[in-house]
Amino acid sequence: MNRALVVDADGHVVEPPEMLNEYIEPKFRDRIPKYVKDEKGREWWEPRDPSVSDAQSWFPRERTLVTCLPNSAGRPWNEVLGKGFREGLAGAWDPHARIRDMDSEGIDVAVLYPTYALGFVRDAALQGAVYRAYNNWLADYCKTYPKRLYAVAAVACKMWTARCASYGAA
């Protein structure tokens, strides 16, 4: 039986904490937010310099709902991602798990966007480096299933940097 192709046109990944450390150019490594975990097991990135980036836009400490991942619609954030990035729906950062989730929901193709990588980076050079790191990570994620996972690249631009700068330090 033939059926229509089912496309998730607004799929999202959740960039794992190690993504920037592994993919960013070495000269920017000391400027990226640091990964922290609190006593309740919540994880996020704290800015090393609040004038450069807003930690809340990188990895918020609390969320209520996530609807951008397969098998996550309407489920509480802590159920989807658990207390940390390795508990919960692994398809957010693991392409093999994502394909299993997509198959369980009858999704043939996913067009993938970032979740936190496009946080408010106020410094243009750092913004470009973060976007390059994210794009390289996402390319590696998608190349495991090139006919099913499609990346939407992040592109740094002066207008976005200026807009982010207008929000001021968090």
Give the structural domain span for 107.
7-166
pTM score, two decimals? Answer: 0.75
Decide if 154 is inside a domain.
yes
Q: Return mean pLDDT, the chain.
A: 75
Q: Reduced to 3 states, what is the DSSP secondary structure of residue 6?
A: coil
Cβ contact 98:70 at 8 Å: yes
Decide if 68 is inside a domain.
yes
For residue 153, what is the domain's CATH number?
3.20.20.140
Q: In terms of pLDDT, which residue wins out, 37 or 80?
A: 37
